[in-house]
Structure 1
Amino acid sequence: MDVEVVFGETDEIPEEVSPSVPPVDPDEFFSKNAFRIVFQTNNFFLPQIRDLIDKGEVLNLRPEYQRRLRWNTAQKSKLIESLLLNIPVPPVFLYESDAARYEVMDGQQRLNAVKEFIAGDFALSSLTVLEPLNGIRYSRCPPRIKRALDRASLSAIVLLLESASESAGNRLSMTDIRRFIFDRLNTGGTKLNPQEIRNALNPGPLNRIIVELTRNKLFTEVFDIPAYVETDPNDYYENPQRQKNTLYASMADCQLVLRFFALKDDTNIRGSMKSMLDRAMEKELTDPDADALRQEYIDRFTFLYTLFEKKPFLLPPDEKGRERVSAAIYDSSMVAISDLWAHRTEIMADAAAVRSRMMDTAANPDLLPILTGQGNTATAVKQRIALLRGILRPE
């Protein structure tokens, strides 16, 4: 089954032009608005990096929250070759989440490559300068090469918690500062997409349940993502079929889950879709509150899965007869049934009529653009949610 997902995050809603304001003295503006980033620089030998990651007490790679497009063996090998040749490697950026505990802001792939090579998870390949080393694993490196690797290091710039207090007068939170730095870092190479940035900057209970929900059996079935059947969760990220899946690799699966939490709050439906999702992701929750939301999501998704006979959120078949799943129908259906949750028994009793109304709406050329979210505005979002409420339970 082909999955059609239209996110439209880059389409911003025009804002009113601000009236002209008198010129501001640059020196005075700087003195009142500049904020100070507090950081320290450390150098870690490669074996130290492995130990810090393996212990998990100081440095957390959090693979479930980071970019899922992993470096291949050739890319990892090039990094090891650069370290052996003493070629300068860009520093990794960490931020202090709790006292003496650090999360990766930028450099996950470099750290992961070092950890895996030292652990013997791959042999060097595709080297051009040190070509005779191709095929060698760390444990079998000749003594001189192993000593060179053990002396090699990566530098790390650590954003400290004091940055938030230093900026208190400007009302900048640690998240604001991390987002500012992240934006400046995310200018070269392969840029992270908006959801990858949200996941990197917003650890916590909400992020945890979003990742958990993407692994739900019904969710992976509906959105055609390879099921999570591995015994060891660490193997989730090594599944070659899952890595080839566009939704998984781009973290669009996480964004799909987030869309429900963002749009179920009517007061949050304002501005662009990107801003709605950003605000929702920054919401701080306790673990019990997050677990309650997780169950709420599962209940609504399961209900719609049953209501539409295991094929919810479908667009009309294309010219080749292929079934496609629509993100817009998904999020509006989820929000609509949540709004009508008190009437779920009568809606299920009327299931055949609900499915018929959905087919009629999808076949209507005037209503289909509303149903599929072709208008990327807050008004269009509210319109399609209202349309789905009418399909589920006509007034």
Structure 2
Amino acid sequence: MWEHNTLDGPEKDRLDKKKIACKGLNMSVDVDLGETEEPDDAPVAIDSRDPDDFLAKNAFRVVYQTNNFLLPQIRDMIDRREAINLHPEYQRRLRWTTAQKSRLIESLLLNIPIPPVFFYESDAARYEVMDGQQRLNTIREFFSGSFALSGLKVLSPLNGIRYPKAPPRVKRTLDRASISAIVLLMESESEISGQGSLGLTDIRRLVFDRLNTGGMKLNAQELRNAQNPGPLNEAIIELSRYSLFTDVFGIPPYTEKDPEDYYINPERQKNSLYSTMKDCELVLRYFALKDDANIRGSMKSMLDRAMEVRMTPEEAAIAREEYKEQFKFLYEIFDGRPFSVASRTDGRERVSAAVYDAAMVAINRLWAKRDLIKSEKAAIAGRIQSAIADDDKYEILVGRGNTAESVRDRIELLQDILHHPA
């Protein structure tokens, strides 16, 4: 732990506004994420090309079909895991409360139309969910008895009922209910004049973005995840499950035998970092900042550019192992609490994303000197305390924003703390 002396007023307010309490199982970790979001309302440049001519040359048609599925069919297709992949990695993580799930079941019982779900055809007769993950998961969970109905106002006598013990009429009504699905077909690949081929992945991103402009808006990392599939994104998701990472950031560990069950762990769903994909954003921050040329502009722009980097599977595997090695090294150097800082106001310990960024990039740059750094463990602790006692260095460490200049200063300070040549 990095100890602090007491600070008053404004510093406490700043930390309180930015912290996220991440609770899972019997752990509770406060994480200070800093500022990474920014308004996304840049003006669109005027395009003087003729609209009729442009539409004629560049329009493409999404090829799709509409199917209706009975709820038991939906349940069976998901449970068999052959026809529907309910958790493609570009989807947001499950956020619905029991009350929201109950309202969906009530709507189905009342035959109230609900929006269709959207699939895309990844292989012949196999679908991945583009939109509707929460609805489909709710249907599966209710049929399996995972939750009892609650908060119903129209069908209030059904509150407390689970499907396996529901009255016969309730079961019959749900067994006959259906949900429509719009399936984006593989034939949607198109040619765009002057721009080459528009692949299914490109079209899928476009459709996904349009489907998610309403309702609960995706945050920046959910959009990055949705729009940038590939080896780098897969590596980031895997690293967010790394046992030391989840320990440091207070995320319930991934102990399930079947990866499909990762998404339905109730404690993990309650965890703020997990549910908003901020865990993946934390991993991405390392890849964004270790490239010094990318430290420019806002933190959001740094993260956006880093996510667009194309890696081969081999390059992603190397990057993944590099991250784990360096994270483990810092974990051991700082006795299992590598980025934790005690508040100057209330003494409460918080994990600082700013310190995490700087420490991970610093050790990456100093990796050739890791044996020497390990031998200086006691001296490093002293240099940390000296930096915290110095008001200017303290502000560099945790007190300033995520501007390019402050990020560079913080990394340099951590390099000096980790290895200070005589």
Give yes or no for the alignment of 1:334 onto 2:334.
Answer: no
Q: Report the secondary structure of 2:119's partner residue.
A: strand
Q: For the structure 1 residues 282 and 329, does the alpha-carbon distance in structure 2 shift closer, same or farther, using more than 3 Å as the test?
A: same
- Kept after mapping to 1: 8 A contact 2:32/2:352: yes
Partner of residue 253 from structure 2, selected from 207, 227, 230: 227
Q: Tell me how far 1:287 sits from its aligned partner.
A: 4.3
- Structure 1 Cα separation of the partners of residues 298 and 60 of structure 2: 28
Deviation track 1:322-376 (CA, whole Å, cap 9, x = no partner) reads 1221111112211221122111111222222333333333333333343337333
Kept in 1, the 8 Å contact 2:90–2:227? The answer is no
Of the three residues 272, 287, 299, the one matched with 1:261 is 287
More displaced, 354-363 or 100-109? 354-363
CA displacement at 1:52 relative to structure 2: 1.7
Alignment partners' CA distance in 2, 1:99 and 1:201: 23
Indicate conservation of the 8 Å contact 2:69/2:178, yes or no: yes
**Residue in structure 2 matched with residue 146 of structure 1 by the alignment:** 171
* 1:372 match: secondary structure: helix
1:275–1:32 CA distance, 2 compared to 1 (3 A): farther
Cα shift readout 1:245-298 (whole Å, capped 9, x = no counterpart):
322222211211121122223344344333333343344545444333222111
1:45: which partner in 2? Answer: 70
Indicate if the aligned counterparts of 2:57 and 2:192 stay in contact, CA closer than 8 A. Answer: no
Change (3 A) 1:212 1:132: same
**In the alignment, what sits opposite 2:336?**
310
Task: Describe the shift of the 1:157–1:281 C-alpha distance in structure 2 as closer, same or farther (beyond 3 A).
Answer: farther
Pick closer, same or farther for the CA change 1:201–1:93 going to 2, 3 Å. Answer: farther
Aligned counterparts of 1:252 and 1:286: Cα–Cα separation in 2: 24
Kindly report the root-mean-square deviation, in angstroms, between the aligned alpha carbons of the 2 structures.
3.3
Residue of structure 1 equivalent to 2:222: 196
How far does residue 90 in structure 1 lie from its aligned partner after superposition? 0.9
Q: Deviations over 1:159-206 (max 9, x none)?
A: 334434344753555454444333332233322222223334444443
Aligned pair in 2 of structure 1 residues 7, 120: CA closer, same or farther (>3 Å)? same
1:160–1:384 Cα change, 3 Å = farther
Structure 1 regions of 5+ residues with no counterpart? none
Identify the residue that residue 366 of structure 1 maps to in structure 2.
Answer: 392
Amino acid at match of 1:326: S
Contact 1:336 1:386 in 2 (8 A): yes
Secondary structure at the counterpart of residue 319 of structure 1: coil
Distance across 2 between alignment mates of 1:14 and 1:190 = 18
The verdict on how the C-alpha distance between 1:142 and 1:13 changes in structure 2, with shifts beyond 3 A counting, is closer
- What's 1:117 paired with? 142
* Count of equivalent residues: 393
The match for 2:269 is 243
Equivalent pair of 1:68/1:250 in contact (CA under 8 Å): yes
Q: 31, 37, 41: which is aligned to 1:10?
A: 37
Asked if the contact 1:91–1:156 (Cα under 8 Å) also holds between the matched residues in 2, the reply is yes
- Normalised to the residue count of structure 1, the TM-score between the two structures is 0.85
Which residue among 92, 95, 101 is the counterpart of 1:67?
92
Contact 1:175 1:202 in 2 (8 A): no
Structure 2 residue runs of 5 or longer lacking an equivalent are 1-27
- After the TM superposition, which of the residue ranges 216-225 and 120-129 deviates more from structure 2? 120-129
Identity across the alignment (%): 62
Q: TM-score, normalised by structure 2?
A: 0.80
Mapped partners of 1:158, 1:169: distance in 2: 28
Measured after TM superposition, the shift of residue 207 of structure 1 is: 3.5
